[in-house]
Amino acid sequence: MIPALRQAHPGATFIGIGGERMAAAGCRLLADPTARSAMLVGALRQTRYWYGLLKQIKRELRDHRPDVVVPIDSPTINLRIARMAKKAGVPVCFYVAPQLWAWAQWRMARVRASVDTLCCILPFEEAYFKKHGINAVYVGHPMFDTPVDLAQTDPALIEPPLPGLGGRGGNAERLEAPRVALLPGSRTAEIQQNLPPMLEMISEIKGRFPRVSFVAAAASEERAWQIRHYLRAVNTPVDIRVGITDAVIRWADLVLSVSGTATLQIAKHHKPMIVMYAVAAYKWHLLGRHLIRTRFMSLVNILADKEVVPEYMPFYGSPLPMAREAIEILARPELRATMTRDLEELVRPLQPSVTGGLARERVAAEIGKLLKK
């Protein structure tokens, strides 16, 4: 968003909270909280940090009144930031609408009172929020601003070559030498919770397909180090690749993934997947099951309003049922073909040619409207 907005407003300056990529885009960071992302009960342990950060943001709004505030995604902190901005007389463009359709619908009144423009990235969200009296606009999903078939995402061009790319014959050989990608998450806690059951699954898959290849996609060297730590306890070889998640997805016949935006990234490539998110049973029964309101929990199934891909959410207990489903998908080409067709149909409305332009440019245009008021 920042480069697109700067192109429209060359003299713009940016101050905010975020990670290394925001800083590289030219944003002066007040704080980098990216390592603190958490879900459910884990978020409650970080209250003190976020309370202090909110006080810092309030001072920034008071001492250096910005022209517009752009909260992004998570409503827990960002609706508070939006409310502070409105009290300070600063217009608010909320980018990536909070998923209130899934849970926390009681926050709808706060959105209505604190947000001037709500930028939605999923097709059904605009009508949903407008129904609740909110000025919502569908801008498209930023993930689809980038084409699928880039040279840097072609697994055949990755050095060293990804395992299983050479010497592949026809369908019979592919059936006996499948390629499985692991996306255990981009956060420390996600990998801690989800990688161990994934590794149990791949041991079962290896037993059925001795020539199978496994590759884990890591978002950073730090995450790769964490994945290596868990791999020491298993005998099944797993290759780790850093920063080339799209190429790993394109390489795979099946992807084992945690829930979240990664599932839409996999769907963008029309790749069969199994979605999971490990949560302790007591956490789910204590809190999670009382909050979630959707029929499905994985993003791709929510968008399709049917089970396009198997989802195990929340997951606790034995990973054997997931392993059996993975083996069945790998053993049956017709299942993979059906999943591929469903995913292709699912993501078609998210393409820039359908949405009317790139998400980053459409968001910059909405922000520009607020700057002119």
135-188 tens-digit pLDDT:
999 999 999 999 888 888 899 988 889 998 865 544 544 568 999 999 999 888
357 Rama class: left (phi>0) / alpha (psi -120 to 50) / beta: left
Q: What is the mean pLDDT of residues 247-272?
A: 95
Helix (H, G, I), strand (E, B) or coil at 136: strand
Helix axes 221-231, 188-208, angle to 10 degrees: 50
What mean pLDDT do residues 50-72 have? 91
CA distance 31 to 50: 11
pLDDT of residue 282: 42
CA torsion angle 76 78 84 89 (round to 10): -150
| DSSP of 276-332 | EEE--HHHIIIIIHHH--SS--SHHHHHHTS-SS-EEEEE-S-SHHHHHHHHHHHH-
pLDDT, residue 171, reads 54
Rounded Cα distance between 69 and 91, Å, is: 6
> SS3 breakdown of the chain: % helix, strand, coil, rounded to 5?
50, 15, 35
User: Is the distance from CB of 369 to CB of 117 less than 8 angstroms?
Assistant: yes
Q: Tens of pLDDT along 4-16?
A: 999 989 999 999 9
Cα-flanking dihedrals φ and ψ of residue 338, to 5°? Answer: -65, -45
Complete domains list, the chain, with CATH: 2-140+357-372 (3.40.50.2000), 151-350 (3.40.50.2000)
Q: CA 25: distance to chain centroid?
A: 20
- Report CA 195 to chain centroid distance, whole Å: 17
Q: If you ran DSSP here, which 8-state letter would residue 219 be given? A: S
What is the pLDDT, as a whole number, of residue 16?
A: 92
Q: Is the pLDDT of residue 124 over 60?
A: yes
What number of other Cβ atoms are within 10 A of residue 126's Cβ? 18
Question: What is the pTM assigned to this prediction?
Answer: 0.85
pLDDT of residue 39: 47
243 falls in which pLDDT band (50, 70, 90)?
Answer: very high
Full DSSP string of 18-81:
--HHHHHTTEEEEE--GGG---THHHHTTHHHHHHHHHHHHHHHHHS--S-B--BS-HHHHHHH
The structure tokens listed for 231 are 């791999």
Question: Does residue 338 contact residue 345 with C-beta atoms inside 8 Å?
Answer: no
Q: Residue 232 and residue 217: Cα distance in Å, rounded?
A: 17
- The yes-or-no verdict on residue 324 having pLDDT over 60 is yes
Dist CA 259 CA 274 (whole Å):
9
The pLDDT tens digits for 264-311 are 999 999 999 999 987 654 444 444 444 555 566 788 988 888 999 999
CB 260 within 8 A of CB 219: no
Report the C-alpha gap between 69 and 88 in whole angstroms.
11
Question: Which pair of structure tokens corresponds to residue 260?
Answer: 């979240």
Distance set, CA 337 to CA 250, 301, 360 (Å): 15, 17, 33
Torsion of CA 209, 210, 213, 218, to 10 degrees: 90
